[in-house]
Amino acid sequence: MKRLCVIPGDGIGQEVVPSAVRVLLKLLPGLDVVEAEAGWDCFLRCGQAVPEATLQRMRECGAGLFGAVSSPAQRVEGYRSAILTLRQQLQLNVNVRPVRSWPQLSPRADVDLLILRENSEGLYIGREHMESADVAVAQRLISRQASEHIAARAAEVARLRSSGRITLVHKANVLPLTCGLFRDSCRRVLAEAGLDSIVDERLVDVAALQLVERPQDFDLLVTTNLFGDILSDLASHWSGGLGMAPSLNWGQGIALAEPVHGSAPDIAGSGKANPLAAVLSAALLLRYHWQYGEQADRLERSVEGLLTEVTVTQLEGETTRVVEQELLSRL
């Protein structure tokens, strides 16, 4: 029996995650669901953004669905982002960000790409300090081990997608040690996997331009943490924006699905939150972690059917409830 740790988090996470879980249960009626807490509200209540009990439940279940997190704009003593903590404490070293065209929502109909982002290193390790009163310094960490790990995942994903192109995105012309190590480690692993003939490279600024100009040319992109964060949000334009952007934080034997959107406190509790990103994140959990490709296909087809047959204006108002009912009727 599969187990799922549900972490709604803050704001609209409290609405979209339960909706996505009910849809997932239609596909996996025997799924064992347990709840846990994390986020800014959790920190305000108990002094921890991610309690140890939440980490333990995630380890026991081996799979989770996270909603959204609110974060303060200024540094708060003792607080660290809940999602960054979960990624690093659970060694969720790869972030999966698919971008595809959807009916009604996408500016063009021919986009189907996936960005693999290294999820544990780079500038997101949280090592910052004031060198003087006027100079702040942040450290960027790139390791051979993490680079080889994401390259191995890229080989796995490339075969699942029948990819014809793998693009390594870096800035080795300016950062020859860190980006150079990333690029060379990835190239070696992909060559050993017999995929060197489909590997190419782009500098990150060129990749950004080409994702705007001709996104249909890309298939599978592999990059470092900060670059992947920015490029995947940029590319989400082609799938209808961050409200339609799913992701999967993927480790060894453990994974956490996570819609990319924020906690949207302005609409929290109104019933207007769109649960599709949470639902599509659950589909990534099905496909890549649990290896339930057929169920993932069914879920994605139900989303496509909804967006083909129901107009966006019909989803206004009680969006969360209407979308959930429409999906359940198609499964």
Q: How far apart are CA 121 and CA 9, in angstroms?
A: 23
Is-catalytic flag, 171? yes
| Angstrom distance (rounded) from CA 153 to CA 26 | 29
Is residue 92 exposed (0-12), middle (13-18) or buried (19+ Cβ within 10 Å)? buried
Please give the Cα distance from 243 to 249 (Å, whole number): 18
With CA atoms as reference, report the closest residue to 157 among 188, 183, 190, 179. Answer: 190
Q: What distance in Å separates the CA atoms of residue 14 and residue 322, rounded to the nearest whole number?
A: 17
Q: Report the distance separating Cα 174 and Cα 28, nearest Å.
A: 48
Q: Is 205 a catalytic residue?
A: yes
- The catalytically annotated residue of 229, 266, 272, 288 is 229
- Cα–Cα distance for residue pair 189/195, rounded to 1 Å: 9
> Please, are residues 298 and 27 in contact by the beta-carbon 8 Å criterion?
yes
**Is residue 124 annotated as a catalytic residue, yes or no?**
yes
Extract the tokens encoding 210: 């080409």
Burial 152-187 (b: 16+ CB within 10 A, else e): bbbbebbeeeebeebbbbbbbeebeebbebbbebbb
Cα distance between residue 59 and residue 80, in whole Å: 20
Q: Is 26 a catalytic residue?
A: no
Tokens 């942040």 -> residue: 138
Which residue is catalytic, options 10, 41, 171, 292? 171
DSSP state of 311: -
Residue in 32, 110, 196, 205 annotated catalytic: 205
Q: Which of 112, 184, 219, 233 is catalytic?
A: 233
Q: Which of 224, 244, 251 is nearest to 64 (CA)?
A: 251
The residue annotated as part of the active site, out of 124, 219, 272, 292, is 124
Contacts of 73 (CB under 8 A, 6+ apart): none
Q: Which residues are catalytic?
A: 124, 171, 205, 229, 233
